[in-house]
Amino acid sequence: MIDSLSDSYSSPACKLGRMVENGEVVRLRRDLYETDPETPPYLVASHICEPSYISFEYALMRHSIIPERVVWITSATYGKRKTKRYSNALGNFVYYDIPENAFPVGIEYWGDGDRSYPIASAAKAVCDKLSKMPPTRSYTGLEALMFEDLRFDEDAILELDARTILDYASLYHCTTLRTLGHYLQEHS
């Protein structure tokens, strides 16, 4: 953005600073700006921390797997080795690291007007969330985790494809996901 201002202004950084102060543009993070202050936060989430896609609680909410309204835009990324958080005028964003092999699978693109954004499929969002939880090998422990602790919708979980979950489990190297895959095989 600063490059586009450099032709018209002798001090483009100062002009950009004034535009941010006046609300004409929104600073998303260092060197990244949005020109429309009314942009929904989920449309910019994948640009704030790259590569990333919306997942975890926010995707679970959008897929109607959890009943709660989620304020933070939660996303998955890889290679960061730690959780990253950003806050700006559009919203609050958090990025959780997942295994690189698991990153590219199960991503959908949803549209909003003339823009689209990457979001985890229902199965991928469940896998991302469960991969960050303490491991469980028992069906009783899995049910308690999913339906009591995380408040997942049981019908939505039972609609997931067992084979897909087992395929994802091998990418995450996650005991809980293997348990979920076998659970779904027995309950389908």
Structure tokens belonging to residue 158? 């039972």
| Bond before 51 cis per omega within 30 degrees | yes
Asked if 97 and 56 count as a contact pair (C-beta separation under 8 A), the reply is no
**Ranges of each domain in the chain:** 1-37, 124-186
Scored b (16 or more CB within 10 A) or e, 169-180 reads bebbebebbbbb
Task: Say if residues 119 and 55 touch (Cβ distance below 8 Å).
Answer: yes
Sign of CA dihedral 141, 144, 150, 152: positive
How far is Cα 97 from Cα 103, in angstroms, rounded to an integer? 9
> pLDDT truncated to tens, each residue of the chain (188 aa)?
545 554 555 566 777 678 788 888 889 998 899 999 999 999 999 999 999 999 999 999 999 999 999 999 999 999 999 999 999 999 999 999 999 999 999 999 999 889 999 999 999 999 999 999 999 999 999 999 999 999 999 999 999 999 999 999 999 999 999 999 999 999 98
Question: Cα–Cα distance between 95 and 118 in angstroms, integer?
Answer: 14
**pTM given for the model:** 0.90
